[in-house]
Amino acid sequence: MIDLGVNIDHVATLRQQRHTSYPDPIQAALRAEEAGADLITLHLREDRRHIQDADVFAIRPLLRTRMNLECAVTEEMLAIACKVLPQDVCLVPEKRSELTTEGGLDVVSGFQSVKAAVERLQSEGIRVSLFIDPDAQQIKAATDTGASVIELHTGAYAEAKTEAAVLVELDRLKRAIQCAISAGLRTNAGHGLHGQNVAPIAALDGIAELNIGHAIVAQAIFDGWETAIRNMKAAIISARLNAQRTGKQ
């Protein structure tokens, strides 16, 4: 109905803070699957601030669900992805100085390099997703690269400060979903989602998967890892069922 991808990046952030061996992202991934994660998402950043190459290689054969590897469109990352062979790769923009991924990949400006990356990954049997802003031009360009999936960046929605601004962002997302679905794209979403803001996004018919990390790791401090995942999954499924029952999105 709607998949939950649990992003384990910030389990690794905590480990890297002290260069200890714990908390272990491998254990986080396997226990996330037990708690109901439909896939495991992890972002191998160029600066290796959280997930390390060894984590990606170790986790890949152990997963019973699927791996969604997020990475930048660089020769180094594409070569790693072609060695790891995750089921999904999500191509994301990266800025070294950013705290987190600030916006979507500019597929319009970087069309040739994104298209070449999509073709290279697909030739290895990897499904490719493009992490983009909810924008019709970006969706058109994403479709033209031959990618079959997009992930809509929900950061602007998550950061909207007033009710009116939230509604504007939700409307942008709704229009983007319609546009993507008409183009035949599987449409995922994520970034900045948490227990208090996830329901309106999960309710949007057409969203196939939500990727959520930072808030689950944060909530796990209070509730425990598995409970935080189970509660997030219950929240998104209940929002979707409620929308289907009432016809309201």
Active-site amino acid positions: 43, 70, 191
Cα gap 21→25, rounded to integer Å = 10
Kindly state whether residue 15 participates in binding ligand DXP, applying the rule CB under 6 A.
no
Least distance between ligand LD2JLWAY and beta carbon 246 (Å): 27
Q: Give the residues lining the site for ligand LD2JLWAY (CB under 6 A).
A: 7, 41, 151, 190-193, 211-215
Helix spans in 2-110 (H): 9-18, 25-34, 53-59, 75-84
Nearer to ligand LD2JLWAY, 182 or 227 (CB): 227
Least distance between ligand DXP and beta carbon 43 (Å): 3
Nearer to ligand LD2JLWAY, 62 or 218 (CB): 218
- Using the rule CB under 6 A, which residue among 3, 9, 135, 169 binds ligand DXP? 9
Cα gap 33→63, rounded to integer Å = 8
Nearest to 93 by CA among 77, 78, 105, 102: 105
Q: Which of residues 84-103 bind ligand DXP (CB under 6 A)?
A: 92, 100-101
Kindly state whether residue 7 participates in binding ligand DXP, applying the rule CB under 6 A.
yes
Q: CB–CB of 153/129 below 8 Å? A: no
Cα gap 249→65, rounded to integer Å = 29
